[in-house]
Structures are given as structure tokens and as C-alpha cells.
Amino acid sequence: MPDQSTIAVDAMGGDEGLAVMLAGVAQAAGRHAGMRFILVGDELRVAEGLKKHPSLLAHAEVVHAPQVVGASDKPSQAIRRARTTSMGIAIDLVKKGRAGAAVSSGNTGAMMAMAKLSLRMLPGIDRPALAAPLPTLGANDVVMLDLGANTEVDARNLVQFAVMGAAYARIIFDLESPRVALLNIGSEDQKGTDVIRDAAQALRDATLPMTFTGFVEGDKLARGDHDVIVCDGFAGNIALKTAEGTARFVADLLKRAFTSSLRSKFGFLVSRPATRLLRDHLDPNNHNGAVFLGLNGIVVKSHGGASANGVATAIGNAAKMVRADLIRRIADDLGDFSKPDIGAAA
Amino acid sequence: MPDQSTIAVDAMGGDEGLAVMLAGVAQAAGRHAGMRFILVGDELRVAEGLKKHPSLLAHAEVVHAPQVVGASDKPSQAIRRARTTSMGIAIDLVKKGRAGAAVSSGNTGAMMAMAKLSLRMLPGIDRPALAAPLPTLGANDVVMLDLGANTEVDARNLVQFAVMGAAYARIIFDLESPRVALLNIGSEDQKGTDVIRDAAQALRDATLPMTFTGFVEGDKLARGDHDVIVCDGFAGNIALKTAEGTARFVADLLKRAFTSSLRSKFGFLVSRPATRLLRDHLDPNNHNGAVFLGLNGIVVKSHGGASANGVATAIGNAAKMVRADLIRRIADDLGDFSKPDIGAAA
């Protein structure tokens, strides 16, 4: 049984590194009373960094890691240094039961490879998928997966992603039968690739605790019509990043529009409380923390460019998953689910 | 030599059908003096519809088409009815030289199949790609292709798309050496699929009138750092539609924010001229009209849900391409370009 109140944090990962990670942990400690942290990284540098967060000392211990996984390290390189890097050691603390979850802002490919090797897959799952809830206009967010762990998939992988995504949505949104759709370039049955059409057929034929809603196009992701959207990691990554980039693009244009005249500047100042709420709603730091589903343990990927607030959000999400007993519940769902026969699967 | 001042319009296509198409042609006629139109569709219904646009009679003739391509018709079905459908006949008018371009809001797959069969490909091109300029924060728009004509491609296809996209960008943006990037899920050389990495290698090795700028991620499409973005039709369609959907999503949230209190409502009213400019800038109807590059003739796809203004924009873009002698200039570029040897190509 893992220590449910402890989160292992790779203190060295992310574009900004140590300072932002520690500031994030300090924010999370302030938000969640009773939570404990294991900070994994260069002992001396972490101790130095902790001087800025003296209140954290009561809630955190430090585990030394002599090395760091680089942003452009290949997964195969990273695996060879699993026992000496901050990322590898943080994941290993989950395996050993010393932490309920590991959180890192580092290299996604390396994290997936290390987590797969150390924690192993749940029975019946071939590959992990990176999943995260995204904002919508509806009553709840939408879980999207895979967001970049698997660039190429077969129909069987997509079906497994659907089952894992539905289990995750049932837990975080408290739904009986989540509405699950496949991302595609059209809503008609004949649209898309063979892989997508085969996965759709399998999902239509299977009896699962989900409602399969067919295909969804890129312009309808945020409408709140679905609870889970399933795709390969290439399409998922393109969609997620295009959505982020477009939201920022519109915000930039809006800023230009509002500062284009004295009159519009005045109007903006008057409306500021409302636009501030909107900014908070769209800020990726308020939606940070994607989880690798399918592993025998909780590993959460924080955005490389996350702020301290973003890191704290990711840690909070990891803690929620631990409390909800995510892994056991997904494993139960997978046990209930008899794999459909997918002709086209490799 | 095609009749450069005449555009053939499939009057029956699109989600809204005849009324919107005719209203769009009428708007285009008002904007572009001297332009002539051939309206292809059910003779009686077109004549009836023209009663609402009497001024158009001086600039348009009607060519009868007894049938219409349906939204869910397969390309193979559509091809068999090329000689009797409004879409097929409009494309054939380009082949016969009676029109400089054909414009339709109908079924994309059917349009591509019919256009390929009727007009044939330019020498050296294996498949057409759907291309359109999209708004950015930079000095000019960015041409993106393929937007949905080819769900699966090889490295050779991507290289050809890059050459065609660059030729198109040189013409519409008046650039010497457009900056061309490949859409990918990371900027590092080892990211993505074999197909994308092979295409990148070929573009690095080739001497072409373009500047190959490497990989671009989904969150950086609109920053104005590139003039052409190349991808397969699946990723392109997902990116384009996700961008459209996200822009609409942000606009909806903004509307909610602005109407959330009396104070913000007042601020919105004051800023209205500025937000109206923004809305115009983002309205897809002001960017309508994707072209099938690689064909021996100009065929423009208007968005199925385009308004009359959107249809007029697509017609205006088609006319610009005719005047710019797009096909000859792309053919010249392709002639200069000696195909690189792509090991991985099929």
C-alpha cells in the first residue's frame, strides 16, 4: 500500500528548473494540509533553494539524485540512468510504496519510458496514454487522451485508451456512463483512417460502462458534448497545442483591440473583473497535470513551462488521484472489460 | 487559355444550398467589376433564386445540372456522376477553358476526386493538397496544407506539398523565399514519425526557392514565424478545426464574461468598435476559400457552412489566383525543382 499522503516531486525538471518547482511545492503545501513531499534532486541545490521556503521544511524531506534527465535526451538514454536521475528516482519512490504519486515537469518521452519500465503496465494494457482534463463550455471538463505518449497506434490501443479514459472520467467527474468519442476529420462513418474506423466498430460492438458517441471533429472539442475524447498521441498533441496557441492568439488580438484607442482602453478597464475571470479560466496553469494512464502507479506530467501555480495545480491533481484510488478503480474496470476482437489490430 | 474573367460556381453545394450561394455570387459581383459567372445547378431552381438578385442577370449565365453531389457521397460514387452533377460540370467548365476557376461549397472528397480525374495533376505531383491562408500575428497570413485531402501521406508527398505551398506563398504574399515548416509534436530533430523526419531530411538537402525552418508545434502556428506549414491532411484538418473551435470557444467565454455584470456590460459597449474589428479578423468567412494545389486548373473549396459573405470571399480568392496565373507559376517552380531522393517514400 503506497503512502497516500506523500507525493514525490522531481525537483530538477521543467524549463525553469528548481526554483519554480520548489515554489510550486510550497504553494501546494499551503493548499493541502497534511500532505507530505519527497523532493528529489541535487541535495545541496535543493537545500539552498529551500532557504526561500522555510515553512516547507516541516512537510518535506530531500532524496539526493546526482543526475538530471535533459530536455532532448532520448528515452533509451534516460532509461540507462533511471537509478541516478531525479526523474527516475521520483518514479521509483512510487514503485517502492514510499509515495502515492510522482510529479515531474521533465521530458515526456523519458518519463513514459522510465514509468513503464519501473511500474509496469496494468493487465490488458499494451501502452500507457497521457490524459488530461481540458476546459469546455459544458458542466464538466473533457478528458483527452493520448496527448503525446504514442505517435502511432493501432485500433486495439485506441480501444484501451477509451476504456482507461472512461474510468478516469467516471472518477474525476463522478459520472456513471461517460460519453466517449474518437477524434476524427469528419463525423460520417466512412471518414478517417482504417485504424480509427476499426476502433469505432469495436467500441460500438463492446458492452462497456460508457456511451460511445462516435466521431468528433476538432472544432467541437470544447462544446461539452463529450466527457472523453480519444486519439493517437500525434493528433492529440497537435489538437492540445493548437487549442493553447489559438487561445493565446485570440487573447493577444483582444489586447491589441482593447489598446487600439482611448475609448476601448477605458471600456477594458471597466470590464476588467470579468476579463480577469476569463483569463483565469483559460490559463493552462489552472489545468496543469496530465497523468500516464495504464501504469501500475500514478505518474503526473506537469507542463515544462508551468509556473509555480501550475506546479501546485499538478501536485493537487496527483493528490486527488491518489485519494480516489485511481489505479485500483481503473484496474477493476479493465477486469470487467472483455477485450473485443479487433481484426485490424497488430 | 481559360476565360480569365469567368468563374464557374457550383450553385447547389454547401450546407445552406442555393440561396446562400447565389447571395454570395451577388456580393462577389458587387465587389469585382467585370467578373462574369457561370451558375451550375438545377435550371429552374437557379432561375427562381435569381429573382432575388436581378442585378446578377447581367453578369451571369446558367448551365443546367440535373443532379447534386450529397454531403456523404463517397468519391467513387461522385465520380460516376461527374457529367450530371453541378460540382462535376463546374469543374469541367475549367477543363474546357470556359472558366478560369471553379468554386464549390460541396463534399471535399468528391471535389478532389472529380478535379483530379478531370483536370489531371501537374507533372511531378502525385496528389493534390488542400491549401488555405490562415490569420497570424505577423506581417502576412500563413499558408497551411494539406487541410484534409489526404489522410495518409509519405515523405515524398510532404516534400511536394512544401514545394507547392512555397510557390503559392510566393504568389499571394509576394515573397522571394518563403519560410516553410513541417507540423510536428516537438521541435527537436528526433521528434515525430519516420515520414516527417524523412521529409525534413529531404527538405534540408534540397536546393529550393524556400527557407526550410524545421518543425513547428501546434501552439506556434499563428505567431507569424513561418509562411507555409506542411502536414498530412489528418493533422491539418485537426489543427484547422481545433483553431476554429477554440477561437469560437474563447469568444463565447468572453461574451459570458462581458454579460456577467452590469459593469462589464457597460465596459463592453464602450469597447465595442474594437471588439468588432477583432471579430471581423477572426471570422472564418473572411478567410474562406481553400485551393486544391497540384491540379492543372484552379478549383476552390468554400466552407460548407460559409455565409454569403464567405462565398463571396472564396470567389474573390479564386479570381485572384486566376489573375496571378497561379497554375503556370506553380508548374514553372516544379519544373525548376529536381525531386530529391527520398528513401522512405513508397
> Cα–chain-centroid distance for residue A301?
6
Do the domains spanning A1-119 and A121-290+325-346 agree at the CATH topology level?
Answer: yes
| Cβ-defined contact of B239 to A239 (cutoff 8 Å) | yes
| Cβ-defined contact of B253 to A137 (cutoff 8 Å) | yes
Cell of A99: 509515495
- Strands A36-41, A60-64: pairing is parallel
Cβ burial, residue B23 (10 Å; 0-12/13-18/19+): buried
| Cβ-defined contact of A246 to B247 (cutoff 8 Å) | yes
| Cβ-defined contact of A257 to B275 (cutoff 8 Å) | yes
| Cβ-defined contact of A238 to B233 (cutoff 8 Å) | no
> Which of B234, B248, B262 to probe by mutation at the A interface, max A CB count within 10 Å?
B234
A324-345 mean pLDDT: 68
> Which of A191, A225, A246, A286 to probe by mutation at the B interface, max B CB count within 10 Å?
A246
The parts of chain B modelled with pLDDT lower than 50 are: 1, 339-346
Any A CB within 8 A of B279 CB: no
Rounded to the nearest angstrom, the minimum Cα separation between A275 and chain B is 6
The secondary structure of residue A54, as a DSSP letter, is G
Whole-number pLDDT of residue A345: 40
Whole-number pLDDT of residue B344: 36
- The Cα–Cα gap between A97 and A119 comes to 11
Nearest C-alpha in B relative to A245: B219
**pLDDT of A2 higher than 60:** no
Whole-number pLDDT of residue B40: 97
- Interfacial B residues in 179-208 facing A (CB < 8 Å): 183, 185, 188, 190, 192-193
Whole-number pLDDT of residue B340: 47
Any B CB within 8 A of A70 CB: no
Residue ranges per structural domain of chain A: 1-119, 121-290+325-346
Residue scoring higher pLDDT (B274 or A329): A329
Any A CB within 8 A of B250 CB: yes
Residues in chain A: 346
- Interfacial B residues in 10-49 facing A (CB < 8 Å): none
- Interfacial B residues in 77-136 facing A (CB < 8 Å): none
CA angle A329, A131, A341 (to 5 degrees): 65
Residue scoring higher pLDDT (A72 or B59): B59
- The Cα–Cα gap between B94 and B296 comes to 10
Mean of the per-residue pLDDT values of chain A:
89
**pLDDT of A205 higher than 50:** yes
| Cβ-defined contact of B192 to A151 (cutoff 8 Å) | yes
Q: How many beta-carbon contacts under 8 Å exist across A and B?
A: 200
Percent of chain A, pLDDT > 70?
96
Superfamily of domain A1-119: Isopropylmalate Dehydrogenase (3.40.718.10)
Which amino acid makes up residue A119?
L
A188 CB neighbours in chain B (<8 A) are 71-72
- The Cα–Cα gap between B323 and B247 comes to 32
Domain A121-290+325-346 has CATH 3.40.718.10: yes
The domain made up of B126-287+328-333 has a fold known as: Isopropylmalate Dehydrogenase (3.40.718)
| Cβ-defined contact of B238 to A237 (cutoff 8 Å) | no
**pLDDT of A346 higher than 60:** no
Whole-number pLDDT of residue A338: 52
Whole-number pLDDT of residue A13: 77
Residue scoring higher pLDDT (A55 or A257): A55
> Which of A219, A272, A275 to probe by mutation at the B interface, max B CB count within 10 Å?
A219
Residues in chain B: 346
A72 CB neighbours in chain B (<8 A) are 188, 190
A222-239 mean pLDDT: 96
| Cβ-defined contact of B185 to A72 (cutoff 8 Å) | no
A144-172 mean pLDDT: 93
Three-state DSSP state, B52 = coil
The secondary structure of residue B57, as a DSSP letter, is G
Rounded to the nearest angstrom, the minimum Cα separation between B132 and chain A is 17
**pLDDT of A334 higher than 80:** no
**pLDDT of A235 higher than 60:** yes
Is the ipTM reported for this complex over the cut 0.90?
Answer: no
Long-range (24+ apart) CB contacts under 8 A made by A300-304 are: A300/A101, A300/A102, A300/A103, A300/A104, A301/A104, A301/A105, A301/A108, A301/A111, A301/A130, A302/A13, A302/A14, A302/A24, A302/A103, A302/A104, A302/A105, A303/A105, A304/A13, A304/A14, A304/A15, A304/A71, A304/A105, A304/A106
A185 CB neighbours in chain B (<8 A) are 148, 151, 233-234, 237-238, 241
A109-125 mean pLDDT: 93
Nearest C-alpha in B relative to A249: B222
A249-263, A320-334, B63-77: the lowest-pLDDT one = A249-263
